[in-house]
C-alpha cells in the first residue's frame, strides 16, 4: 500500500518549497540569451524510466528476481548517461570546492534528523496501512545468495550513487540552474523531485529529504565527487543495517 506515502509527501514538499522556492523571482531570459536545451534531458528520462518498464513488459519471466531487475535499472541509467554524453556535451565537473571531510560531516549532522523522520514515517505507516514502509529491494535481501548479495552491494554502493548523481545533480540540476527563468534553488527542488520519482513510492518522503541533501552539497561545491561519496556512504550504511537486521 502506498497511499500513505502520497499522504506524507505533500508536507515534506511544502517545507522544501518554503525554504527553497522563496528566492526572488528570476528575471526572464532575454531573446538573445542562450538557454540550456532540455530536449536531451527528456530523452534521458525516457531511457531511464521507460526502458526498464518496456523490457519487463516484453520479457516478464526473465526479470522476476531482484538482482536482474536492479541490473536492468542500472543498465538503463548507464544508457541515459551515455545518451546525455553524446547529446548534451561533456560530463559535469567532478572537482568540488567542498572538502570530502566537510561533506561527510554535513551528512552525519543530517543523519539523526533523517533517522527520526524515518522512524516517525514508519509509525505512521503502521498506523494507517498496518505495515511499515519497506522498499522492494530491501524486503527481498533475505532471499538472496551470497553471490547475489555481493552483486547487489556493488550496484548499491558503486554503480547507483555514481550514475544517479551524474544524471540528477550533474546534468539535470546543473542544466536547470543555468536557466535564467529557473535559478539554482528551483533547480535543486525540481531535480530532487525527479530523483524521488525514480525510487519506490513507499519511501518517497525520506528519499526526498536525501535528495535535498545531495543536491545542496552539489550546489555548495559545484562538483560531483563529494555528492557521489556521500551517496555511496549512505547506501553502504543502509545496506549494512539491512544485512545486520534481516
Q: What is the pLDDT of residue 132?
A: 67
Distance CA 50, CA 48 (A): 6
CB atoms within 10 A of CB 135: 16
- Main-chain phi, psi angles of 199, to 5 degrees: -115, 175
| pTM for the whole structure | 0.81
> Helix axis angle, 51-58 relative to 66-87, nearest 10°?
140
Distance CA 13, CA 243 (A): 31
- Main-chain phi, psi angles of 40, to 5 degrees: -60, -35
Asked if 35 and 234 touch (Cβ cutoff 8 Å), the reply is no
Q: Give the CA angle between residues 137, 212, 67 to the nearest 5°.
A: 15
Distance CA 76, CA 141 (A): 22
Cβ contacts of 212 within 8 Å, gap of 6 or more: 16, 20, 188, 192
Distance CA 46, CA 42 (A): 6
Expressed in angstroms, the distance from the first to the final Cα of the chain is 21
Distance CA 17, CA 188 (A): 10
What does the pLDDT look like over 167-181, one tens digit per residue? 999 999 999 998 888
For the chain, the maximum distance between any two Cα atoms, rounded to a whole number of angstroms, is 59
Q: What DSSP letter does each residue of 122-173 carry, written as one string?
A: HHHHHHHHSS----HHHHTGGG--HHHHHHHHHIIIIIHHHHHIIIIIIIII
- The SS3 of residue 105 is helix
Asked if 142 and 246 touch (Cβ cutoff 8 Å), the reply is yes
> Per-residue confidence of the chain (246 residues) as pLDDT tens digits?
333 333 444 444 444 443 344 433 333 333 333 445 678 889 999 999 999 999 999 988 888 888 888 999 999 999 999 999 898 877 777 887 778 899 999 999 999 999 999 999 988 888 887 676 777 777 778 788 999 999 999 999 999 999 999 999 999 999 999 888 888 999 999 999 999 998 988 899 999 999 999 999 999 987 899 999 999 999 999 999 988 887
What does the block give as the cell for 56? 519487463
Distance CA 190, CA 44 (A): 16
- Main-chain phi, psi angles of 110, to 5 degrees: -75, -25
Distance CA 101, CA 107 (A): 10
Amino acid at each position: 500500500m502506498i497511499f500513505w506515502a502520497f499522504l506524507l509527501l505533500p508536507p515534506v514538499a511544502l517545507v522544501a518549497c518554503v525554504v527553497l522556492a522563496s528566492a526572488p523571482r528570476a528575471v526572464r531570459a532575454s531573446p538573445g540569451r542562450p538557454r540550456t536545451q532540455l530536449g536531451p534531458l527528456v530523452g534521458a528520462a525516457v531511457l531511464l524510466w521507460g526502458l526498464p518498464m518496456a523490457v519487463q513488459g516484453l520479457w516478464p519471466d526473465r526479470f522476476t528476481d531482484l538482482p536482474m531487475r536492479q541490473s536492468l535499472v542500472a543498465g538503463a541509467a548507464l544508457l541515459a548517461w551515455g545518451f546525455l554524453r553524446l547529446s548534451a556535451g561533456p560530463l559535469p565537473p567532478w572537482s568540488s570546492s567542498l572538502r570530502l571531510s566537510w561533506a561527510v560531516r554535513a551528512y552525519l549532522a543530517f543523519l539523526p534528523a533523517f533517522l527520526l523522520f524515518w522512524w516517525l514515517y514508519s509509525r505512521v505507516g503502521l498506523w494507517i496501512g498496518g505495515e511499515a514502509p519497506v522498499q522492494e529491494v530491501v524486503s527481498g535481501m533475505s532471499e538472496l545468495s551470497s553471490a547475489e548479495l555481493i552483486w547487489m552491494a556493488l550496484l548499491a554502493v558503486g554503480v547507483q550513487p555514481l550514475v544517479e548523481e551524474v544524471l540528477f545533480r550533474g546534468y539535470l540540476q546543473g542544466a536547470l540552474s543555468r536557466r535564467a527563468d529557473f535559478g539554482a534553488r528551483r533547480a535543486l527542488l525540481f531535480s530532487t523531485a525527479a530523483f524521488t520519482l525514480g525510487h519506490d513510492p513507499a519511501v518517497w518522503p525520506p528519499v526526498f529529504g536525501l535528495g535535498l541533501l545531495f543536491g545542496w552539497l552539489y550546489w555548495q561545491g559545484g562538483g560531483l565527487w563529494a555528492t557521489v561519496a556521500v551517496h555511496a556512504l549512505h547506501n553502504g550504511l543502509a545496506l549494512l543495517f539491512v544485512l545486520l537486521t534481516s
